[in-house]
Amino acid sequence: MANGVIILAHGKYAEGLKSGLDLVVGEMENLKVVNFEEGVNFDILDGRIKEAYESLQNYQNIVFITDLKGGTPFNRSVLLYGQQENVRVLSGLNFALTYQALISDEQDIEKYLEEIITTGKESIDYFELVESDEEISDDGI
């Protein structure tokens, strides 16, 4: 796989998301998790981010996916690695976006970003009950 993925979020959101992803795709070597929990200062957080980044050095591209643009995980990722040519920092962490980021084999980082962001956006929807004029028979058919 060409792409390493680091998910970072407030609390244990990233850890919980990884748990769900593990159920769907199994444990992925190209995925690392960084939690930003209460009591964690910048030095500790930066150390965790660096450790995750360094463990993915064999990948062509590394994408940080954070929960909130302008939040601490986003800001620290940008500060530490935002200037690296093969690194991008995203916000809007969700299951579909991260799943696509993990399974994509796109090597061009800009095409890769377009692919995963589109998937993440398109996964946001809502259920709408549409009333039908058709009568349902007693047997349900």
| Predicted TM-score (pTM) above 0.75 | yes
User: ∠58-71-53 over CA atoms, to 5°?
Assistant: 10
- Compute the mean pLDDT over every residue in the chain, rounded to the nearest whole number: 95
Over range 109-128, report the average pLDDT.
Answer: 96
Give me the domains of the chain, ranges plus CATH numbers. 3-122 (3.40.50.510)
- Predicted pLDDT of residue 1: 64
Contacts of 97 (CB under 8 A, 6+ apart): 65, 90, 116, 117, 119, 120, 123
What pLDDT digit, counting tens, does each position of 74-113 carry? 999 999 999 999 999 999 999 999 999 999 999 999 999 9
Look at residues 82, 137, 79, 91 and name the one whose alpha carbon lies nearest to residue 116: 91
